[in-house]
């Protein structure tokens, strides 16, 4: 990836160790960065207020306020400003923990120059460059709705930001629920068309006969029921961005028409003889494999190459598990507010389950699980049991062997006696035990055959 955007970037270095400060300043100067050194968190915060950097590199251990507390403040006041923490051996666990709360990364002292510069380059790719480019592209607001800390997302977003600057068509691939629409909106917001409309349409959700007039509009009397002329979504997106979700579901006949819009930059409403000029940027998304659809003759090759000028692929949530705690906290904050509940977070074992679960429905499924937990929670922290229930994970109670055996034995006896309608002779035979032994077992659990005689199966003792 290019370092072009990083040249001249302003980096704030906070360390009370003069040697480290000097060393870092020297190395970063040599790479063309503008560096502001600071010796404490307070001095760093003051410098950020006066001359905002694009990246903060801070030691964790600082006199007075430490690097973690500095990060906590920046997380709320400047969420898009990446922070890299420097740790000595003893503070590695703190740094690791901080990454789950959104610290961009950490480096363990002593670090080598290559690792440091690689991490800095990575962080700068996703940080806004307020001084370099005009609004709204680079005030970081384009990323507002996207929560992440994984390197795979950081790299994808760096690419997204770059293509946003052009007018190229982008095909966004990724499984259902990975965030294709949020990414499309972000690209629109980071583009020169940000002030124009963003129009999204799900091609798979609209019945085929309606899709054409939804997209391109119709003239009065174009078909039965077309009592008046109506403009289409393509026209509505004029001057802005059209996002076609599930483009793989678009019928072949409409694919031809869409191709014409892209080639000739005009749209012809259904039933009209004249074409209207349109100026749109097209973003599309699919969870289907378009190459296979093409091979099967369901997708036009010429349209495919128009749509796929740049292709961005969203990773599955399971491929970026480090984003899970951050996403869960983000959703919880929003939902707790919506439900008016004073829930402050997840219990550590609940978070553990979220972070290790399988997520076939990706981010959307995580959002649904958090919503369900939030709706059912009556404690300040969401417990593991609620997460398990929402995930429909079978609950594995931590029982002793003796207790598990007792429960099994009692349930087994109850089921047998229900089956035999309270006949000990029959039940003992099935269990392959003699009657005396069987009676002893019943006694152990306070069960009597009479309890099962003449009762409906559903009313027998549980």
Residues contributing to the site for ligand ATP (CB under 6 A)? 145-148, 174, 176-182, 245, 287, 327, 363-364, 367
Nearer residue to ligand ATP within complex by CB, 88 or 310: 310
Q: Is the peptide bond before 136 cis (omega within 30 degrees of 0)?
A: yes
- Beta strands of 88-142 (E only): which ranges? 105-108
Partners of 37 in beta bridges: 13
Q: How far apart are CA 420 and CA 430, in angstroms?
A: 9
How far from each other are the two terminal CA atoms of the chain, in whole angstroms? 65
- How far apart, in Å, are the Cα atoms of 49 and each of 15, 16, 44, 78? 18, 20, 9, 10
* Beta carbon of residue 390, minimum distance to ligand ATP (angstroms, whole number): 16
Of 327 and 414, which has the nearer Cβ to ligand ATP?
Answer: 327
Please, what is the minimum distance in Å from the beta carbon of residue 317 to ligand ATP?
A: 9
Q: At 200, is the secondary structure helix, strand, or coil? A: strand
CB of 153 to ligand ATP, least distance (A): 7
Q: With respect to ligand ATP, which residue has the nearer C-beta, 16 or 214?
A: 214
Six-digit token pair at 35? 């560096």
At its nearest, how many Å lie between ligand ATP and the CB of residue 161?
15
* Smaller CB separation from ligand ATP, 174 or 217: 174
User: Between 327 and 343, whose beta carbon lies closer to ligand ATP?
Assistant: 327
Considering the complex, state which of residue 352 and residue 371 has its C-beta at the smaller distance from ligand ATP: 371
Phi-psi region of 177 (alpha: psi -120 to 50; beta: other; left: phi over 0): left
- Find the shortest distance in angstroms from Cβ 246 to ligand ATP: 7
Contact 86, 109 (CB under 8 A): yes
In angstroms, what is the minimal distance from the CB of 180 to ligand ATP?
A: 3
Q: Which residue is nearest to ligand ATP (CB)?
A: 179
How many whole angstroms separate alpha carbon 433 and alpha carbon 439? 10
CA distance 382 to 282: 42
């Amino acid at each position: 990836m290019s370092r072009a955007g990083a040249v001249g970037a302003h980096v704030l270095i906070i360390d009370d160790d003069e040697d480290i400060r000097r060393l870092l300043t020297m190395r970063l100067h040599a790479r063309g960065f503008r560096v502001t050194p600071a010796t404490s968190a307070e001095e760093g915060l003051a410098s950020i207020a006066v001359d905002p950097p694009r990246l903060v590199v801070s030691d964790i251990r600082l006199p007075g306020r430490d690097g973690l507390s500095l990060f906590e403040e920046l997380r709320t006041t400047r969420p898009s400003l990446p922070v890299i923490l420097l740790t000595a051996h003893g503070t590695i666990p703190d740094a690791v923990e901080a990454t789950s709360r959104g610290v961009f990364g950490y480096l363990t002292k002593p670090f080598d120059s290559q690792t440091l510069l690689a991490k800095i380059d990575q962080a700068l790719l996703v940080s806004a460059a307020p001084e370099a480019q005009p609004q709204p592209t680079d005030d970081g607001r384009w990323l507002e709705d996207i929560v992440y800390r994984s390197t795979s997302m950081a790299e994808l977003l760096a690419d997204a930001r770059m293509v946003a600057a052009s007018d190229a068509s982008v095909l966004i691939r990724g499984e259902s629920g990975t965030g294709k629409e949020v990414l499309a909106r972000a690209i629109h917001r980071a583009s020169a068309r940000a002030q124009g409309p963003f129009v999204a349409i799900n091609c798979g959700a609209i019945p085929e006969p309606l899709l054409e007039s939804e997209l391109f509009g119709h003239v009065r009397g174009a078909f039965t029921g077309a009592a008046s002329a109506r403009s289409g979504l393509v026209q509505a997106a004029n001057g802005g961005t059209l996002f076609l979700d599930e483009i793989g579901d678009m019928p072949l006949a409409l694919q031809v028409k869409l191709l014409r819009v892209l080639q000739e930059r005009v749209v012809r409403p259904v039933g009209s003889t004249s074409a209207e000029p349109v100026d749109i940027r097209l973003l599309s998304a699919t969870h289907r494999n378009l190459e296979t659809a093409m091979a099967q003759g369901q997708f036009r090759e010429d349209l495919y190459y128009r749509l796929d000028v740049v292709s961005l692929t969203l990773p599955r949530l399971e491929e970026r598990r480090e984003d899970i705690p951050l996403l869960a906290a983000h959703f919880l904050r929003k939902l707790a507010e919506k439900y008016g509940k004073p829930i402050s977070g997840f219990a550590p074992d609940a978070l553990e389950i979220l972070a290790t679960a399988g997520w076939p429905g990706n981010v959307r499924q995580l959002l649904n699980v958090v919503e369900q937990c939030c709706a059912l929670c009556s404690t300040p922290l969401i417990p593991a049991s609620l997460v398990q229930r929402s995930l429909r994970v079978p609950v594995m109670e931590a029982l002793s062997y003796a207790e598990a055996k007792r429960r099994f034995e009692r349930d087994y006896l109850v089921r047998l006696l229900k089956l035999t309608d309270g006949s000990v002779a029959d039940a003992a035979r099935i269990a392959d035990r003699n009657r005396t032994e069987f009676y002893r077992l019943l006694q152990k659990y306070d069960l009597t055959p009479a309890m099962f005689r003449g009762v409906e199966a559903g009313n027998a003792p549980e």
